[in-house]
Each structure stands twice: as structure tokens, then as C-alpha cells.
Amino acid sequence: LELSWEKTLVPVHITLGTDKEVMASIDQTLAGPDARQYYLAARYYHESGKDILKAYEWVHKSNEMNPTYWQMRREAQILADLKRYAEAIKTAETSKEMAQKAGNQDYVRMNEKSIA
């Protein structure tokens, strides 16, 4: 960002500590997490390219506690990124079945595309 007037230019540098804040929040939350908190931490790690094994550990724990089709899909995506394709397909099929029962055709289609 730059502020200018007449012949004066003042650069203004803005930095945000978003990643640092999110990481601190994850650490605090995981001191006593529920399934949703494990899932959210896993999703953040997965989407931001952090420790993929930790992301898998957390999403798997989330699904052990309270499996949902969207969490199962995330687990399948992480397994695929880990090149554990047979497990990824099996998990995506489970997610698809759960999505069908819940009436969520978007997740059915996304899982079908991932399995193909």
C-alpha cells in the first residue's frame, strides 16, 4: 500500500499473522478436541500444504469419532495425496454412500469423479 500526495510517497507495509494465529488456535483447540475440531485442523493442514501425515491422523480420528460424508471425502483426498490409492477409493466409496443417504448429490458426483 502506498500513500501519496503532491510530491510525497509513503509506502505502508501491512502484514497479517493469519497462519500464526490459525496454528495457535489449532494447538489450543487440540488440547481437548471434538470430531469437528479434528476435521477443521486436518482440512487446514491439507489445504495449506502442511504436514500431510498429521492431516491424515486428524481427519481419520474425526471419522472414528463421528463419520460424515464430507469428512470421509477429505480423508479420501488426503489418502490419494499420500498415494494410498486403494484406501482412497474405498473411503471415497464410503463417502459417496453416506452422501447418497443424506441426499447430497454434489458430494455423490465429486466422489464419483474422484473414484473414476
The answer to whether 107 touches 73, Cβ cutoff 8 Å, is yes
CA dist 104 → 5, 15, 42, 88, 109 (Å): 55, 39, 22, 20, 9
pLDDT (tens digit, 0 to 9) for every residue of the chain, 116 residues total?
888 888 888 888 887 778 888 888 888 777 788 899 999 999 999 999 999 999 999 999 999 999 999 999 999 999 999 999 999 999 999 999 999 999 999 999 999 999 99
Predicted confidence at residue 50, as pLDDT, reads 96
Predicted confidence at residue 21, as pLDDT, reads 85
The answer to whether 82 touches 52, Cβ cutoff 8 Å, is yes
Structural domains of the chain sorted by starting position, each given as residue range(s) with its CATH number in brackets:
35-115 (1.25.40.10)
The amino acid at 52: I
Predicted confidence at residue 1, as pLDDT, reads 83
Q: Residue 87 CB: number of other CB atoms within 10 A?
A: 14
Q: What is the pTM of this model?
A: 0.75
Predicted confidence at residue 35, as pLDDT, reads 93
Q: Residue 101 — φ and ψ, nearest 5°? A: -65, -35
Q: Residue 2 CB: number of other CB atoms within 10 A?
A: 7
